[in-house]
């Protein structure tokens, strides 16, 4: 127990350092910040979930004392505690009557990744502002800034030249068109409507990204621990991952929650985004699973990932629908094929 505690404290300090360097604002600091949960997951998968909990608590306290309490709480809610929770579930198992261990299914683990990501995003929302009105204003302003940047990049004015300046000086200055104030007002109204709509979608977008990151963190840390020979459970057959059908009911509940007022609606939006992400990952796993043993499998997988890269994630919508259908129909081929 003392050994686990010491390893956990060390991992927590490393994780806090990687997270805290983001304050420097450099590209390297951003990259290091992205891998900050890995030490927590590595000690959790290689030693014990108790070590991961010690790391999560230590890292959060270190940031709270060294930087600010709000940063420590944000780190705990968004990354540290989710990392500990997923490490705990990964190592969850029970003994069968024949002496073998039945490990926590990867499909249920994937479902928990989505639920955890949605809860983490709404926790950050609550920490950012206890008043929903203030939070809504913050999201609207953030969305407005993003839209303004996109509009500026897409409709940048043409560069002025000496010839154009001379022609402007030689020509009469036209009077302001009566339609210009109306056009400006219409653009302002459109901008406000887009900002409000996007502000409502931002929790879902954030939860989608966090769910994908959590899956990557879990996979990468398990790979690292496996290379060291300390992984406490056998490597699972990832392509056969299939979430339980109850996740479809959870998604329906999340869609209903999006209509609720206040932070309950924020939680519903975040949960929908996170669950769509994990259903897309299940669709990807199902594609791997169903293509096993087929001729030209390598070319099929290469084409799939190329489409995902070229479309910048738009194909994730198709994968999400495939994952939903795979869960609802459960027509997978028999389990037990070779892992890939």
Domains in the chain: boundaries: 1-76
The CA distance from 292 to 275, in Å, is 26
- Which whole number is the average pLDDT over 52-62? 95
Taking phi first (over 0 means left), then psi (-120 to 50 degrees means alpha), and beta for anything else, what does residue 296 get? left
Separation CA 26–CA 132 (nearest Å): 32
In contact, 237 and 339? CB cutoff 8 Å:
yes
Residue 103 phi/psi, 5-degree rounding, is: -85, 160
3-state secondary structure of 93: strand
Output the pTM of the full model. Answer: 0.83
Q: Alpha carbon 179 to chain centroid distance? A: 44
Where does the chain show beta strands of DSSP type E? 93-95, 101-103
Contacts of 286 (CB under 8 A, 6+ apart): 239, 242, 322, 323, 326, 332
Q: What is the pLDDT of residues 230-245, one digit of tens each?
A: 988 899 999 989 999 9
pLDDT(104) > 70: yes
Which pLDDT score, from 0 to 100, does residue 4 have?
76
Please write the tens of the pLDDT for every residue from 203-231.
999 999 999 999 999 999 999 999 988 98
């Amino acid at each position: 127990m003392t050994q686990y505690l010491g390893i956990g404290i060390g991992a927590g300090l490393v994780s806090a350092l990687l997270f805290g360097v983001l304050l420097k604002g450099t590209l390297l600091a951003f990259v290091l910040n992205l891998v900050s949960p890995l030490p927590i997951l590595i000690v959790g998968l290689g030693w014990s979930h108790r070590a991961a909990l010690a790391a999560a608590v230590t890292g959060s306290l270190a940031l709270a004392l060294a930087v600010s309490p709000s940063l420590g709480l944000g780190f705990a809610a968004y990354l540290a505690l989710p990392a500990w929770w997923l490490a705990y579930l990964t190592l969850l198992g029970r003994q069968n009557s024949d002496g073998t261990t039945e490990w926590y299914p990867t499909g249920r683990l994937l479902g928990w990744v989505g639920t955890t990501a949605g809860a983490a995003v709404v926790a950050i929302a609550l920490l950012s502002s206890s008043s929903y009105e203030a939070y809504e204003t913050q999201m609207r302003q953030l969305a407005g800034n993003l839209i303004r940047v996109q509009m500026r990049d897409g409709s940048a004015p043409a560069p002025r030249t000496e010839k154009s300046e001379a022609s402007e000086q030689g020509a009469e200055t036209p009077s302001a068109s009566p339609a210009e104030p109306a056009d400006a007002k219409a653009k302002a109204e459109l901008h406000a409507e887009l900002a409000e709509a996007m502000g409502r979608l931002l929790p879902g977008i954030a939860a989608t990204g966090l769910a994908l990151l959590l899956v990557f963190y879990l996979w990468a840390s398990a790979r690292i621990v496996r290379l060291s020979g300390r992984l406490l459970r056998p490597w699972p057959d990832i392509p056969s991952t299939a979430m339980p059908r109850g996740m479809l009911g959870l998604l329906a509940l999340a869609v209903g929650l999006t209509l609720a007022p206040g932070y309950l609606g924020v939680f519903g939006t975040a949960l929908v985004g996170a669950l769509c992400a994990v259903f897309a990952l299940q669709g990807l796993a199902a594609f791997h699973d169903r293509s096993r043993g087929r001729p030209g499998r390598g070319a099929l997988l290469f084409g799939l990932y190329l489409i995902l890269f070229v479309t910048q994630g738009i194909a994730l919508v198709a994968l999400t629908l495939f994952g939903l259908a795979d869960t609802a129909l459960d027509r997978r081929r028999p389990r037990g094929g070779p892992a890939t």
